[in-house]
Amino acid sequence: MPRSSWGTKTKIDKNKWRIRWCEWDGLNRVRRSKTLYPCTSREADDELRRLWQLHHLPPNERVVPCPTFKQCWDEWYFPQLEKQLENGDMSRSTFVNYRSAWRSKVSPKWANVAMNKVRVEEYQRWLDKFTAAQAHVSHIIILNLVNCARLHDVDGISFIDAKYKMPREKKSTGDSGLEVYTVAEIDSILESLRGSRIEGVVILMAKGSCRVGEAVAAAVKDITFDEHNGRTYAVYDLYHQYSQNNSFEPLKTAESRRPIIIPPPWSLRLAEIAKQRTEDQELYICDKGTGMPMDRKRITGEWIGYYRDGTINLRYLTMTKLRNSWATAMLWKYGIPAQMVDKMMGHAAKNILGKHYDRPDKELFIETVDSAYFGN
């Protein structure tokens, strides 16, 4: 069948073409169009041929041409990301990170390359140009693109099966000491920040495992108090986070939803903070006075400022290290098993037991913390 009987191409401008075709959506024939730029006449023909193979032939007769990385991104993977974001299966920050990595790292190198034409040596050299974090997210994008293509019956993409050497983080040459705070240092920080606007956020991170966005999202109404063995525990019902864009978003993963348990005496201090916010008619633990949480950048700025002005007289670590410090203390000082610490941190389970059977509730979290801190 001639291509013109199924699809057409129209020249709009130099190196710019519009193609039109019809698809079967399961019920009706649906007209589609697409603008290609920059694009030659031959490339427009190739794209029509690919779409014809994909949408016109019966599945058992299809030989799906291998797309370029950009074609795979535009037609399959990016729409999938948008749907995940819309359904709440992906946080906006993850969506933005993936889109940014595509635009700045992946697309400049691979956009117009056919996915089955990548050489292993060239791909390794490309990874070597990045930092460990940049290489990690870029490689994830490529893995997901290849998986999308394979799910659409594209064969012959073999470069991804090689075992690549990922760049490593450069080790610090300075004498900065440990990468986490000790328990004594955490207690000193909390005492130094007593009465500050970010005190409650730091308590939730350093004594409860919260990520920054999770702690910032804490509303006064989300925090309740439970008695156990004569001691008062604060329980933060964590169900969303506050993003860098200063908006509420779903948590990082489904497993991130969990009760955050704060033991005494910090639970009692959190109760005082919550009471003060209520008296001031403020809604959030780190309310900026408008009924909304403080901006993430402002919180980070205040954290740095307390080191610069001497309020915190300790070695400086980023605010995110408070969560690392909590995990280290739980494992090594208080002896809580790693699988339980994973649950309390909201990590995605990696085995069958964790994925399908291990379902601790608030009471079990409190019992675990109580036993670790007080030996009961």
Q: Tell which residue, 346, 365, 326, has the closest CA to residue 189.
A: 326
Phi and psi at residue 36, in whole multiples of 5°? -115, 125
- Which pLDDT score is estimated for 8? 87
pLDDT at position 60 over 90: no
Tell me the chain's radius of gyration from C-alpha atoms.
26
Tell me which of 271 and 91 has the higher pLDDT.
Answer: 271
Is a pLDDT exceeding 60 seen at residue 177? no
**Range in 83-92, 166-175, 280-289 with the lowest mean pLDDT:** 166-175
SS3 162: coil
The rounded distance, in Å, linking the Cα atoms of 280 and 351 is 46
> pLDDT by residue (tens digit) across 285-336?
999 999 999 999 999 999 999 999 999 999 999 999 999 999 999 999 999 9
d(CA 335, CA 338): 9
Q: How confident is the model over 9-39, as pLDDT tens digits?
A: 899 998 899 998 877 666 677 888 889 888 8
The average pLDDT across 67-96 equals 88
Distances, alpha carbon 340 to alpha carbons 40, 104, 359, in Å: 58, 38, 11
Does 123 or 37 have the greater pLDDT score? 123
**What's CA 144's distance to the chain center, in Å?**
15
pLDDT for position 355: 72
**Predicted confidence (pLDDT) at residue 5 exceeds the cutoff of 60:** no
Query: Residue 214 corresponds to which tokens in the numbers above?
Result: 């999770």
Alpha-carbon distance of 142 to 145, in angstroms, equals: 5
The reported pLDDT for the residue numbered 75 is 86
pLDDT at 312: 94
Quote the tokens at residue 359.
């379902």
User: Residue 180 in 3-state DSSP?
Assistant: coil
**d(C-alpha 344, C-alpha 191), whole Å:** 25
pLDDT band at 341 (very low <50, low <70, confident <90, very high): very high
Residues 6+ apart with CB under 8 A from 248: 217, 240, 241, 242
What residues form DSSP beta bridges with 32?
A: 21
Mean pLDDT of 255-277: 95
The whole-number pLDDT of residue 245 equals 85
Residue recorded with tokens 């394979």: 150
Here the tokens at position 263 are 């033991």
Per-residue confidence at 3, pLDDT binned at 50, 70, 90? Answer: very low
**187 pLDDT band (50/70/90 cuts)?**
very high
Q: What is the pLDDT of residues 194-213, one digit of tens each?
A: 999 999 999 999 999 999 99
d(CA 330, CA 324): 10
What's the mean per-residue pLDDT of the chain? 88
Highest mean pLDDT among 6-10, 14-18, 168-172: 14-18
Least confident of 150-154, 233-237, 258-262: 150-154
The mean per-residue pLDDT over the stretch 349-362 comes to 78
